[in-house]
């Protein structure tokens, strides 16, 4: 048995009581030092990191909201620009139609004026031709009458009466 007691004391797996006490005290001191000095630094670093992550998330959400607002504003401006462009196109079409109508009216007026001028010119030329023909017919009638009568009809008043009578007979 003695052998067994000595054998039991020599077992390397079972620590000595003094080692257990010294180890427990050292562990307790180390635990307290870590708890007082190191753990608060870790906790502080974790808190800062959490705040940084949370702040980053909030900044990202804020940036996303601003981007969404800018997109909505851009879409609204784009829609108003499209509306404005459509309105301007319609105004341009209306102006073009008005200008075309004005040009058509001016062309019609010019054509009417040209036709009226042409009619007036034709009428003046007709009157001139009638006058010229009357004079020529009168001269021929006077010559013919003087040959028929056998005497010269030099009197202007007599010639005028004969020509007018002859023209009246022709017009009937």
**pLDDT tens readout for residues 78-117:** 999 999 999 999 999 999 999 999 999 999 999 999 999 9
Per-residue pLDDT at 10: 66
Q: CA of 69: how far to CAs of 59, 65, 82, 145, in Å? A: 15, 6, 20, 111
More confident residue, 23 or 172: 23
Containing structural domain, residue 82: 15-171
113 within some domain: yes
2 within some domain: no
4 within some domain: no
Dihedral sign computed on CA atoms, order 22, 23, 27, 28: negative
Dihedral sign computed on CA atoms, order 100, 98, 88, 83: negative
The structure tokens 């808190």 sit at 47
161 within some domain: yes
- Check pLDDT > 70 for residue 161: yes
On whether the CB atoms of residues 161 and 138 are closer than 8 A, the answer is no
SS (H, E, C) 23-89: HHHHHHHHHHHHHHHHHHHHHHHHHHHHHHHHHHHHHHHHHHHHHHHHHHHHHHHHHHHHHHHHHHH
Question: Average pLDDT of the chain?
Answer: 84
106 within some domain: yes
121 within some domain: yes
pLDDT in tens, 116-156: 999 999 999 989 988 888 788 777 777 777 777 655 656 66
54 within some domain: yes
Q: How many domains does the chain have?
A: 1
78 within some domain: yes
């Amino acid at each position: 048995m003695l052998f067994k007691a000595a054998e039991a004391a020599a077992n390397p797996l079972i620590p000595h009581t003094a080692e257990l006490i010294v180890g427990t005290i050292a562990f307790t001191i180390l635990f307290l030092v870590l708890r007082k000095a190191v753990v608060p630094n870790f906790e502080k670093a974790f808190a800062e990191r959490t705040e940084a992550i949370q702040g980053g998330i909030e900044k990202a959400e804020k940036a996303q909201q601003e981007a969404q607002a800018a997109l909505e504003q851009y879409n609204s401006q784009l829609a108003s620009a499209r509306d404005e462009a459509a309105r301007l196109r319609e105004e341009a079409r209306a102006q073009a139609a008005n200008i075309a109508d004005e040009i058509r009216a001016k062309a019609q007026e010019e054509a009417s004026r040209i036709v009226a001028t042409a009619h007036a010119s034709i009428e003046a030329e007709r009157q001139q031709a009638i006058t010229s023909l009357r004079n020529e017919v009168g001269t021929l009638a006077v010559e013919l009458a003087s040959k028929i009568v056998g005497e010269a009809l030099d009197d202007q008043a007599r010639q005028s009466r004969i020509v007018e009578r002859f023209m009246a007979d022709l017009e009937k």
